[in-house]
Structure 1
Amino acid sequence: MFVSNPASHRDQSSDRTGMALILSRDDPGSVRAALSLSLAAIAAEDAAVIFFTQTGVRFLQQEVQDATLAEMRLMAQEEGVRLVACSDSVLELGLRPDMLIPGVELAGALSFYQLARQVAVSLYI
C-alpha cells in the first residue's frame, strides 16, 4: 500500500521515525535501490541510514566505477543519509578505513541492531 501522506507512515504507537537499510551486495541494482529509498526517506523529512555489510562494503571504496551511482551516493551524503560500513566486513574484505570514501562511519552489527530498533522502517536489500 502506498502512502499519500508522508507523516502517516510513522509508527503511531511510539516516536519511531526514519529508515534503516542493510545493503549486503555491491551490485548496481541493489545499491541504486538502497540509495533511492534512503533519499525518499529524507524527502519525507525522516532520517535514513544504510548499513553496508558483506560485499556491499565494496561500494564505499574511494573509486566507484558507475558514475551515476557515485553521483547518487554523493547526493545522499549531502542530503544527510548516514553511510555506515560494517567493521567486520571491512576487515574480511581486506580493506582499511582510509580506503573508504570520506564521511563513512564504521560500526559493528550490534550498533546497527540498536539503531534499527529505534527507527520506524528497517529493510534488507
Structure 2
Amino acid sequence: MWYRATDIAKEIGTNAKCVGKILSSVKVKADDREYNLGLKIKSTSRDVMNPQFVKKVGNTWFYTEEVLNLVKEYAAKFPGIVKAIEKSDNAYIDYPDYQEIKRCYEWVKTFRDSTYKRIDVKTGKDYTGIK
C-alpha cells in the first residue's frame, strides 16, 4: 500500500509540509555546525528519490508503509523537533536542545547510511553517492 504525505501527517498529528521536510531535508545550526535531520528519502528540488521507499506519480509523492512507520517513530522519538519543523517556513529550524539535535542526527544518519539511494525521478539515472 502507498501513502501520501497527507495520510502520514494525519497519523502523527501534523501537516503534509512537515512530513515532506522530514522525508527530505531539515537543517538546524548548533554547536557551530549544521545538522541535517531529514531522512533524505526524496528531494523535490533535485527530483530524486529512493525507489525502495517512494514513487512519484505526476506531481504527487507516494510512500511505503515502511516510511509511514519510520515517520511515526521519528515523531515519537523527537516530538519537539517535529513541532519546530511545523513552525519553520524554510529548510532551517530553530531548536535549542543540542542533545536532542545530536540524538536525532545520529538516528537519522543510521537510517540514511543503511538505505541511501538516489534515483532521478524522470530518467531513472542513479545518482547514489553524488552530491
TM-score normalized by the length of structure 2: 0.26
